[in-house]
């Protein structure tokens, strides 16, 4: 296992990058089960000297930066600063766990070092996932299995942090085969790798869908995102196109979905003022028409809430004509008369687009994506929309990355999920494909079917087992789709307890680090060998 030359180590770095990236490139996430072994080999063959510590730091940093570059480069299409900032922050979090492992593995029992690697890695992923602003959980290891839903049906118990745990302990177990070459190590590794797959297949085969269903239609208008693209395509005023698509929606549908920012700007009105909804009723009534008396529309919209002379929130803006106000990325529930019955405010905002870290200092990070930009207000409630006894959770775009947030709708009574999105900012790149795939994991975690309406694609339906139902509307297509989706009101273990693996891991990581300090103190005092 000795690989001491720089060239050998760089080859191991390259191999690790390829194995880490495969799940986000649409190949398979199962390579994650061995993706860190090349780095573990490098670490094993370095000494405990300060010089070798910094060598390991360099190799690990290069690996994680290249992993980020290979998988999130497409963010460049919206902002050149995006992949750079996300890559640096993500690499920092990855380094915390791995470098803590490298350091302790040279100075403490191997079992303790492995424990620190697993628990601290998960703890830092959780921190990255749970933050309000500095968060971009694209490369959480558990997300890498989004193309392998047949292997991770047990996410209904663990969420994606169960996937991260599986990946990390599989790497350790297989590495131990290389290190010790014992039968015990081989048996242990086989159990760790294969047992979760067997459980997943068993859960998939034994799943019984609910007999209660509802019909939902999704609309993909395919309106270009950027102003120059709208001019080139002749779609500066997409209203008529959307009305024509809505006319094709079956009257039997309980809900029809339009994408995020479909009502970013209403001609002659502007943003939707939530205190003056009566002004937009005629406009919305022209959308829904008279042919869908039992159908309610869920649509993305840019809305505002006025506070007058009081700055009611930290995110509020000031305008001299009407005082303090917040802008929200929202989902509206509209009845067949064009009246807005309920509003959901997006609770997970995109950094640099909808949320600015340390506003006033980092304003230069703001990215213009067609009007719904700058610091927006934060939604605090998990609203559930209803129509004739059917309860649906109205999630918005980026929220599909956050398992515990998504589960909040199910905890609040959602029997099926809607997700409205606009993924056109990045062009025809892996970005919009992975966002659809991540929704498949959300479906498994909560055991809720999902209807997804994206402006430029991908729109489609996902079953509670993560399978795609029927056809999809792919990139740059226009049209509608209709499907029967099952309704469920039971709650999975993950729905009830959220990221419990991450919470336990954080606690164990703290205890392990404290134990390491105590162990080293005793070693220095010759109290342990």
Task: Give residue 363's pLDDT band: very low, low, confident or very high (50, 70, 90).
Answer: very low
- CA count, 13 A, side-chain hemisphere, 500: 13
Q: Express each pLDDT in 313-339 by its tens digit.
A: 988 988 888 799 999 999 999 999 999
More confident residue, 526 or 363: 526
Q: Express each pLDDT in 432-455 by its tens digit.
A: 999 999 999 999 999 999 999 999
> Is 178 in contact with 41 (CB distance < 8 Å)?
yes
The tokens for 179 are 């290190």
- Tell me the average pLDDT across 175-179: 97
Which contiguous run of DSSP H or E holds residue 272? strand 272-273
> Is 200 in contact with 180 (CB distance < 8 Å)?
no
* pLDDT for res 173: 98
In b/e form, how buried is each residue of 388-410, taking b as 16+ CB within 10 angstroms?
Answer: eebbbbbbbbbbbbbbbbbbbbb
Task: Give residue 81's pLDDT band: very low, low, confident or very high (50, 70, 90).
Answer: confident
Rounded-to-integer distance, Cα 482 and Cα 462, Å = 12
CB atoms within 10 A of CB 344: 25
* 434-to-113, 439, 440, 444, 477 alpha-carbon distances in Å: 33, 9, 10, 16, 18
Q: Express each pLDDT in 192-215 by its tens digit.
A: 999 999 999 999 999 999 999 999
| pLDDT over 70, % of the chain | 91
> Is 423 in contact with 457 (CB distance < 8 Å)?
yes
* pLDDT for res 104: 97
* pLDDT for res 263: 84
Rounded-to-integer distance, Cα 256 and Cα 334, Å = 10
Average pLDDT over the chain reads: 91
The model's pTM: 0.93
Rounded-to-integer distance, Cα 298 and Cα 287, Å = 12
> Is 83 in contact with 59 (CB distance < 8 Å)?
no
pLDDT value at 527 more than 60: no
Task: Give residue 357's pLDDT band: very low, low, confident or very high (50, 70, 90).
Answer: low
> Is 46 in contact with 8 (CB distance < 8 Å)?
no
Cα 493–chain centre separation: 19
């Amino acid at each position: 296992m000795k690989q001491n030359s720089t060239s050998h180590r760089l080859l191991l770095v390259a191999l690790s990058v390829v194995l880490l990236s495969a799940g986000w490139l649409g190949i398979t996430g199962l390579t994650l089960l061995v993706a860190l072994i090349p780095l573990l080999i490098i670490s094993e063959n370095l000494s405990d000297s300060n010089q070798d510590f910094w060598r390991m730091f360099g190799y690990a940093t290069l690996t994680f930066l290249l992993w980020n570059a290979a998988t999130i480069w497409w963010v460049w299409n919206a902002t050149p600063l995006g992949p750079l900032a996300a890559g640096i922050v993500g690499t920092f979090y990855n380094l915390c766990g791995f470098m803590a492992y490298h350091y302790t593995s040279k100075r403490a029992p191997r079992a303790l070092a492995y424990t620190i690697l697993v628990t601290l890695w998960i703890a830092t992923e959780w921190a990255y996932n749970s933050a309000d602003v500095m968060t971009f959980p694209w490369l959480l290891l558990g997300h890498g299995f989004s193309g392998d839903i047949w292997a991770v049906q047990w996410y209904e118990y663990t969420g994606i942090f169960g996937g991260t745990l599986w990946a990390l302990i599989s790497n350790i177990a297989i590495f131990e085969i290389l290190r010790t070459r014992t039968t015990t190590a081989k048996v242990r590794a086989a159990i760790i790798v294969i047992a979760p797959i067997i459980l997943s297949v068993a859960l998939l085969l034994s799943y019984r869908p609910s007999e209660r269903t509802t019909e939902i239609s999704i609309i993909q208008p395919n309106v270009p995102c950027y102003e120059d693209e709208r001019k080139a395509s002749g779609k500066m005023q997409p209203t008529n196109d959307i009305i024509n698509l809505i006319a094709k929606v079956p009257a039997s549908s309980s809900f029809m979905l339009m994408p995020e920012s479909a009502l970013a700007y209403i001609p002659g009105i502007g943003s939707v003022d939530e205190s003056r909804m009566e002004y937009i009723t005629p406009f919305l009534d022209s959308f829904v028409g008279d042919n869908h008396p039992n159908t309610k529309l869920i649509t993305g919209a840019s809305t505002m809430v006025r506070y007058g002379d009081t700055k009611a929130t930290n995110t509020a803006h000031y305008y001299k004509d009407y005082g303090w106000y917040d802008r929200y990325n929202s989902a509206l529930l509209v009845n067949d008369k064009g009246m807005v019955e309920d509003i959901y405010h997006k609770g997970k905002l995109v950094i640099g687009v909808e949320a600015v870290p340390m506003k006033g200092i980092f304003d230069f990070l703001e990215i213009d994506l067609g009007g719904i930009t700058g610091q927006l207000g934060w939604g605090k409630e998990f609203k559930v929309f209803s129509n004739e006894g059917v309860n649906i959770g109205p999630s918005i775009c980026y929220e599909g990355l956050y398992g515990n947030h998504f589960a909040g709708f199910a905890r609040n009574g959602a029997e099926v999920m809607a997700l409205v999105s606009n993924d056109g900012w990045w062009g025809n790149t892996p970005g919009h494909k992975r966002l659809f795939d991540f929704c498949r994991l959300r479906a498994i975690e909560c055991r809720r079917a999902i209807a997804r309406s994206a402006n430029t694609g991908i729109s489609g339906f996902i079953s509670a087992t993560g399978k795609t139902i029927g056809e999809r509307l792919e990139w740059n297509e226009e049209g509608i789709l209709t499907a029967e989706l099952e309704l469920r009101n039971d709650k999975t273990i993950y729905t009830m307890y959220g990221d419990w693996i991450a919470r336990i891991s954080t606690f164990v990581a703290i205890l392990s680090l404290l134990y390491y300090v105590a162990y080293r103190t005793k070693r220095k005092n010759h109290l342990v060998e």
